[in-house]
Each structure stands twice: as C-alpha cells, then as structure tokens.
Structure 1
Amino acid sequence: MRTSTPRLNLRVIEKSDYPELAALMDLVFHDVGGSWPRMTIMDLIHQFPDGQICIEDDGKIIGAALTIKVDYNRFSLPHVYTDIINENNVIQHQPSGDALYGLDVFVHPDYRGLRLGRRLYEARKELCRNDNLKAILAGGRIPGYHKHASSMKVTEYIEKVKRRELHDPILSFQLSNDFDVKRIMRHYLPEDDSSCGYATLLEWDNFFYEEDIDSVHDIDKTLIRIGIVQWQMRAVRSVDDLIDQAEFFVSSLSNYKADFALFPEFFNAPLMGLRREQNSVEAIRFLASFTEVIKQRFAELAITYNINIIAGSMPELRDGMLYNVSYLLHRDGTIDEQDKIHITPHEKRDWVIDGGNQVKVFDTDAGRVGILICYDSEFPELGRMLAEQNVQIIFVPFWTDTKNGYQRVRLCAQARAIENECYVAIGGSVGNLPRVDNVDIQYAQSAVFSPSDIYFPHDATIAEASPNTEMIIFADVDLDKLKQLNTEGSVTNLRHRRLDLYGGFTQPK
C-alpha cells in the first residue's frame, strides 16, 4: 500500500533486497514470467552494481531499473531477448561495453502517476553521461499491439503511438523519455503475446559522448571565454599608432584568459584621416592599402598573446574589386577570412564595395565559429547556413551610426542565437571621426547572446557593454549546453525544421 505522503529515496540495489525486488517483479510482470531467479539478480549486482537502481518509499522498494553494458555496434542491430539473457538466465553483461542496455524498469502499481519511471530513466541517463557511454539501448515491448494486430501492421501501430493517436503502456512512456525507435525486432520475446512477439529497438543518444583520447591536449574545450573590444574611434598618426591601441586591448583580454578577441567592423577607419582631400571612393581604397600589413600584425598578436582574434573587418582589393573582409587570426598562426555577403546601400553607393559569395564555418581550438559582418546578421538564411555546418559561436563585427541601426543588428543577432541554437557575440565602435568622410559618428552596445531556454540567462543576454563607452567585456559560454538544448530543450528549433517544406540552405559537397 502507498503511504499518504511518500518519502522517496533513490539508491543502488543491494543483495539483501532480492526478496522485496522479486515480489515487485512478480506483481508487475505476471504476464511474462514474473521475477528473475536470485542467481540472475545477484550476478547483476556483482558485475555492474552502479547499473542496478531502485526507489524506496520509507524503506520499501517501489520501483527499480536494471541495466547492463553492451557493445553498441552489436546491439544497435536487431537481436532477441535471449541475446541479453540466455536460456539459463545468465546476463550477457560486457564490462568493456560502450553503451548501456536497459533490461527493465518497473514501478509498483500503487505508485504510478508520480513519474517515478522518469526518475529512474534520468538516473540511467546520468550514469550514461558519467561513464562516457555512447547511448542507452533497449528492447521495448509493445503490449498494446495485440488489440490492434488484426486491423493494422505493427509499423502502423508504432506510427499511431508516435502521433499519440494510440497509447501503448511501454512505448508511449519510452517516447516521452526522449527515446527514438530505431528498428522493429521480430520474435524478440516470443512468449510476449501482448506484443505478438514484436519489440522496438529504442535508443537514447548521449550527445556528450567523446571518443577515447590519447592525450589531455586532444580534449575539446567546452567552456569558452569571449572578449569583445568596444572600440573608440579616434584620430591616429600612423599604422603603428593604431596597432598600439589594438595591442593594449589584446593584451588585456589575454591577461583574463580570453579565447577570442572581437574587434568591430572597419575598426581601422581612422587611417583614412591620414590623407586629406580625398573623395569617399579614394579614401576607402587608400584604407585598403593598409589591410595586408594590419592583418599580418594582428596574426603576430594572436600568437604572442595566445588568443584567437576576429579582426573586425577591413577593405580588401582583389582583382580590381573591393570587398569588406573579416579576418580570423588563430593563435596557432593560421589565418581565415570571411567576406561580407550583403553590402549596404551606403557601402555600394559611396565606396563601391562588392559582396562575397560564400559563408563558412571555421574550426578553432575553442569551438566551431562563423562570422557575419554587420548587415549580414539581418539575413536569417546566412545564420541557418552556418547552423547546418554545426556552428557554435557566431561573431558579428558591426558599425552603426544610429541607435536604429544598432537595434537592427542587436535584435537580429538575438534571433540568430535562438533559431540556430548557438551563441552570438556582437562588437561595435563608438565615438566619432569628424575629419573622415562617411564615418563621422558611431553608436554601439556590444553584447553576447545565448539561446533562450532554461540552461541560459533569463533574458538570453550573457554580457553587454555600457552604450557608447570604450571598454572591454567578457562572457563565458558553455558549448555543452548547446548539445543539451538540441536534445532536451523546451523547444528544439533545429530538430523541428520542416525540411520537407523548405529544405536546407547549404549545398551538398
């Protein structure tokens, strides 16, 4: 009998629990043979004690989960019950297995409705994560199928259960606990008349699983520190003057162990003031003459200060055409670049800049990153193309003159973070350059945004700068939270895309 106010405790099963455990199995599994022999339970406890879990109410066992380890490659394929427990009731536990196999989960009928089964499943998932195993597999009975076997195929029955048009006592529960049906297995348990001998092969993937590694240096970083320079536009006397200013910020970010330093779009615009009496087209091409030097100097800073630098953007001349280009200077000396794809009317009209044709994701030692330069962040297609290449952080160097323009970048960046389940960092410039045509004023409030779910800040903003003030900001982002969001979030935008309706954006290679 259930107590009026349960006092629950979750623990591992001990050998002395067998009589109570057997009585509970007889009660729950009366239609498929009842309890397992004492020898089988003792063997389970001996071989894999952590996998045998129970819930007790005031000292009485009211639910349990029995689990073994198996080889994923073998048991992710069709099999039968006797491959797991042979005719002599010997459990086929594999101590070196790379996956868990769920043997049984059962709860006393008087305690159903308290979601105790979910607690047991969550404990299994935690064990899977802690032991760095690939997945949880299970052969799932479908005891409701016998009522419909004469009118529908088993595949149709499973589909209707998925669509919640029908309820199956076991399959419905498994699906609600994030398991996917991978296969149908015939003759899994022939004596299971309720399931007509069928079972589903169920799988829950551990997205935190990491392949065996030989060195600590092979471990991917998951906690990443982003640094952003909210850059003050000011007159400079030379390229060295500009680099000195930049190095001060890079050094400061490095001292705080930042993995990335983000600079704004056209942060080098003050150099246009070195030559007076130029029209706007001449001035931007004059600025482009410094780009290669600045790129190489920033590459040296990245190595010297052990930090990856997103060098905002700078104009670059290629084959007589001018592009707005952002450079990713890796701390190992590698240099990547991303062209701005969408050119603003101002850039096209006053500077005659052309747009690029490819958006890329870059592998770094601190995650997979993409770059959308200012206006590009306002086009959701580009963010989705990055997401389809498994981007984790999108950097948005921007330059906006008014708060209206800034709000477009900010709000669109937040949307990109939510819809693509990634972090987005925006970095802009402040101040004014009264002697430089078309770059006279700036407005910025740099920030780092997250998806909007329980794993992240309530306003989906991890850090933000003071408006229109020169400063640096830091934000620590956890890449593992993105994996958890993708599979267990309140909503899962990427998994719920209607590719049958609108397809994907990236082109197959």
Structure 2
Amino acid sequence: MDHNTPKLSLRTIESSDYIQIAELMDLVFPDVGGAWPKTTIMDLIKQFPDGQICIVDSDKIVGVALTIKVSYNRYSLPHTYNDIIDENNVIQNNPTGDAMYGLDVFVHPDYRGLRLGRRLYDARKELCRNKNFKAILAGGRIPLYYKHADKLSVPEYIDKVKRRELHDPILSFQLANDFDVKRLMRGYLPEDDASKGYGTLLEWDNFFYEEDITSVHDIEKTLVRLGVIQWQMRTMHDLDDLMDQAEYFVSSLSNYKADFALFPEFFNAPLMGLQEGQNSVEAIRFLASFSDEIKNRFSQMAVTYNINIIAGSVPVIEGEKLYNVSYLLHRDGQIDAQYKIHITPHEEKDWVIDGGNSVKVFDTDAGRVGILICYDSEFPELGRMMAEQGVQIIFVPFWTDTKNGYQRVRICSQARAIENECYVAIGGSVGNLPRVDNVDIQYAQSAVFSPSDIYFPHDATLTEASANTEMIIFADVDLTKLKQLNTEGSVTNLKHRRKDIYGSFIKAD
C-alpha cells in the first residue's frame, strides 16, 4: 500500500469480483489450500448475497468476509470443517437457517493495522441483527498452537490467549470482537498442522433476536413510556377527594399513552388528617384502614385507563404487624405487591412498621420491573437481586422531608441504574401537611435515570421535574439499549461481576 490515505468503502460481493478474491485468498491462505473454486464463491453469492461482504480501496478488494446460514441447534454442537464445506468445495448453506456461520474473514497484508477485520465483523453483527438471526457461529483455527503443543494442552493454550499471556492471530482477534469460545472441536481441520487439527467453536449472540411471533400478545414491547406524578400534599376531605385527584393524574398520563404511572410513597398521608387527637401509631393504623379500598380503586383505574400503576406505597396491617407496601396494578387486572424491606428509624420508632422479607421482579406487558420503596434504594444488594432476575426498570416511590434526604434517594437511585444496567424512575411528593404529624413537610425533584454510557444522555438523566412543584413528567425508555449495553457497552458491570468473591445475591420467594 502506498502512503496515500486509502479510500475505503464496504459493499456486498459481486460475481465479477472473483479474480480479486481468489488472488487475495492465495496470498493469505497458502498453508491451507489458498483460493476456493469460482463455483464455490458464485454459490455463496447466489444463496446468501447479503452475507458476502468486502472492503474496497477505490476498486481494489482489500478485505473479505464470507458467511452462510445454518441451523443453530446443529452447528452449536461439535462439527468439522467438512460439515461446512465438503471435499468438493460445496458450501452447506441452509436457506432456512436461524444463525449465521462465519466461513472466513481475510485482509490484504498491506492493509493490516487499519482495523478492517473489525469493520467486517461489525458489518456481520449488523446483518445478524437486521435479519433477526439468533447468533453468529464460527469455527476458528489456532495457528500458533504448534509452537506450544509440547508444553500446553489446547485448553491451557486457549486460556493463556484469553488472558493475553499469548497471542494467536485468529483466536485473539475473535475474542477482541466479542466472540466467546463455546467448545473445543477435535479434528475440525485435520490437515491444519499448525493447529494440530483442533478448532474452536466461537459464538456471538444476538441479544435482539426474537422468536417467531405468532400473536400480537407475543410481541415484546421495547419502547416504554414512563409517567411520574410529583404529588402535591394537600388537605383532603375524604377518600373520594384523594382518589379523584389521583384519577386526574392517571387520566392525564393515559392520554399521553404512558405505559406506567408512578405515585410517591405514602401519597395518601393527607387522610391521616381526617381523624384528630390520635398519636402517631394510631394515625398510621387509621391510614391503613383505607389501603384495601385504594388498591381496588387503582386496579379499576389501571384497567379503565389502560395503564400500569405503581400506587406509591400505603400502610397495610397483616395480623398484628404493619407493613409499608407498594402495589403494582397491571392494566390486565393483575395485582402484585412489593413490601418495603428496610424500615427507616422514623418508621420503626414513630409508626412501628415492620420490614418485608423478599424482593421481587414482576413481568409486565412493558418489561420486567421492580420496586424499591424510598430507603430501599439506598441498599445496593436489593438492586443487584433484581438485576439477577432480569429487571429492566426499577420504580422508586419516595417521601423525603429535606433536600439532603432527597439527595440520598436520588444519588443512590442513579447508582442502581449504572451498576445494574437498567432504568430507574423516582417519584416523590411536595408541599406540606401542617395538621399531620411526621409528614408535615416534603421535598422532591422526581426524575428518570438511565445507565451512563454512550447510548444514553450525557448526564444519565432522561427527564426531571422542577423541584417542589406539582407536575407530571414523562420519559421514553428503550429496552433494546439495555441489551446493547450489556454486551457492547464501554463498561459492562453485570458481565464483570466477581461471583468468585461475593457470589450471587438473588433470593427467590
């Protein structure tokens, strides 16, 4: 290559390209037979034209990726090179295959160092996503193994390449392009003396893959609209007064096609002002007398307005114990509950509230969601338990009286979004209740947070309310971005967990 800047472009291979492809294969693969016959390349172009990709510098082909379609269930198991290309150089392409199989990627020696191989791999990945293939599979040679075969077994050699203690021109490149070694294949290419006949089965999973959709109910919703109510505490005359105000917000969010409505913790506290002369324990238990009716009315609203509702939290009496419970009212009529796990000193001392014993993740028609009630957001173990159950959105209904209390919830919620690669919505209350002890003042600035990476806003905040103002806010969250982050993010927190040190945190019911 001369010292002029190359003019590179990527395109699919055409029939007229064979001579250049053959010359390049002869140059790159002299040790394993060189170029394939023209009939083989023509057959690839005919059977899977989109899978045959090249990079050209002006009119010169300088990099090539050749690919076929295969059955994932068949070729994710051990196989040989002849199962892919037989002794007559006939390609075993499966027109109905659900996975791609990388036959070869090769780059002109003069153009190495320009990361053309990565461009070709990225093009394959994009094709895999666009065509909804399950994965990209590849059988890989380990051409420098022969130098270490007298001292290292093949698994030991692969492990050292993974740890970058050794470099293998093929395996190191595939690992750098997010492929995982799934298994070792003995006798993959017997004539490959450098690899001692061994091959690695490599796999890159398409996390956007969707099984065949047979019903509208099977379609996974990927763009979800969150609605958060920043609730004004005010004097209420009765339960109907409270629920009319709540229904106003639910109706408004529904009109904007929101999938979820989030209310704050103890949004129903104004009802404590209906009964005078009570001590704090009596007041909170009086408030609990409304909770079953509130739950049922919200459930009716969820169905009527076609929106999933996180009904803040309410006190619930079970036996002699009092709990702080958040209800998830699904728009199909289902009802789920999350009990607050960690009870604040105030709740324990003034209201004698007990903590729950399990954290859950709920399947909804708009993603897998969890609920951390206020103080619970400050304990990373709970968010990690949810992450290990596949949570995509965490809702945090909160009540804080001062800005420093609010900051604890906000900052910890942002941390939960980052470390667990999920969205977190926080919703609080504002205003004051001068006639209600222990909930007399409020401070809130509700918000929706994302992980912090290139796929999301630079400050990892999708939206936030004005501080201490009654209002609603919206955020559209893209669940597919979470999948992309999980595999291709600048950092991948969930993948890099050190379970060998601290194990798993999941606790099933």
* 3-state secondary structure, aligned to 1:31: helix
2:338 maps to 338
Q: CA deviation at 1:191?
A: 1.3
2:452 maps to 452
Q: CA deviation at 1:506?
A: 1.5
Q: CA deviation at 1:151?
A: 1.4
2:39 maps to 39
1:137 maps to 137
Q: Is the 8 A contact 1:432 1:442 kept in 2?
A: yes
Write the letter of the residue equivalent to 1:197.
G
1:60 maps to 60
Q: CA deviation at 1:320?
A: 1.5
Q: Is the 8 A contact 2:358 2:508 kept in 1?
A: no
Write the letter of the residue equivalent to 1:134.
K
After TM superposition, the runs of 4+ consecutive aligned structure 1 residues lying more than 4 A away are none
1:215 matched to 2:207: no
Distance in 2, matches of 1:340 and 1:273, equals 24
1:203 maps to 203
Q: Is the 8 A contact 2:227 2:475 kept in 1?
A: yes
Matched ranges for 1:481-500 at <5 A: 481-500=481-500
Q: Which range moves more in the overlay, 185-194 or 115-124?
A: 185-194
- CA-to-aligned-CA distance 1:45-92 (integer Å, 9 cap, x gap): 111101100000011100000000001111111111000000111000
Matched ranges for 1:55-204 at <5 A: 55-204=55-204
Q: CA deviation at 1:196?
A: 1.2
Q: CA deviation at 1:195?
A: 1.0
Write the letter of the residue equivalent to 2:409.
V
1:506 maps to 506
* 3-state secondary structure, aligned to 1:441: coil
Write the letter of the residue equivalent to 1:153.
S
Write the letter of the residue equivalent to 1:115.
R
1:232 maps to 232
Distance in 1, matches of 2:498 and 2:334, equals 37
2:467 maps to 467
- CA-to-aligned-CA distance 1:10-68 (integer Å, 9 cap, x gap): 00000010001100110001111000000100111111101100000011100000000
> Over aligned residue pairs, what C-alpha RMSD do you find?
0.8
Q: CA deviation at 1:2?
A: 4.5
Distance in 2, matches of 1:484 and 1:443, equals 36
Distance in 2, matches of 1:101 and 1:79, equals 12
- CA-to-aligned-CA distance 1:207-258 (integer Å, 9 cap, x gap): 1111111123311100000000000000011111001101111111011100
Distance in 2, matches of 1:111 and 1:2, equals 10
Q: CA deviation at 1:152?
A: 1.0
Distance in 2, matches of 1:395 and 1:498, equals 26
Distance in 2, matches of 1:326 and 1:100, equals 45
1:17 maps to 17
Contiguous gaps of at least 5 residues in structure 2: none
Write the letter of the residue equivalent to 1:458.
H
Q: CA deviation at 1:4?
A: 1.3
Q: CA deviation at 1:3?
A: 5.9
- CA-to-aligned-CA distance 1:143-177 (integer Å, 9 cap, x gap): 11111111111111110000000000000000000
* 3-state secondary structure, aligned to 2:30: coil
Q: Is the 8 A contact 1:2 1:110 kept in 2?
A: no
Q: Is the 8 A contact 2:291 2:315 kept in 1?
A: yes
Identity of aligned residues (%): 80
Size of the alignment, in residue pairs?
Answer: 509
- CA-to-aligned-CA distance 1:426-453 (integer Å, 9 cap, x gap): 0000000000111100000000001111
* 3-state secondary structure, aligned to 1:194: coil
Matched ranges for 1:254-265 at <5 A: 254-265=254-265
Distance in 2, matches of 1:52 and 1:216, equals 34
Distance in 2, matches of 1:283 and 1:228, equals 27
* 3-state secondary structure, aligned to 2:157: helix
Q: Is the 8 A contact 1:107 1:117 kept in 2?
A: yes
Distance in 1, matches of 2:298 and 2:159, equals 57
- TM-score (normalizing by structure 2): 0.99
Distance in 2, matches of 1:42 and 1:232, equals 70
Q: CA deviation at 1:290?
A: 0.5
Q: Is the 8 A contact 1:2 1:111 kept in 2?
A: no
- TM-score (normalizing by structure 1): 0.99
Distance in 2, matches of 1:2 and 1:111, equals 10
- CA-to-aligned-CA distance 1:377-421 (integer Å, 9 cap, x gap): 000111111111100000000000000100000000000001111
1:426 matched to 2:420: no
* 3-state secondary structure, aligned to 1:368: strand
Distance in 2, matches of 1:383 and 1:331, equals 25
* 3-state secondary structure, aligned to 1:142: coil
Distance in 1, matches of 2:255 and 2:122, equals 40
Q: Residues 508 and 151 of structure 1: is their aligned pair in 2 closer, same or farther, counting only changes over 3 Å?
A: farther
Contiguous gaps of at least 5 residues in structure 1: none
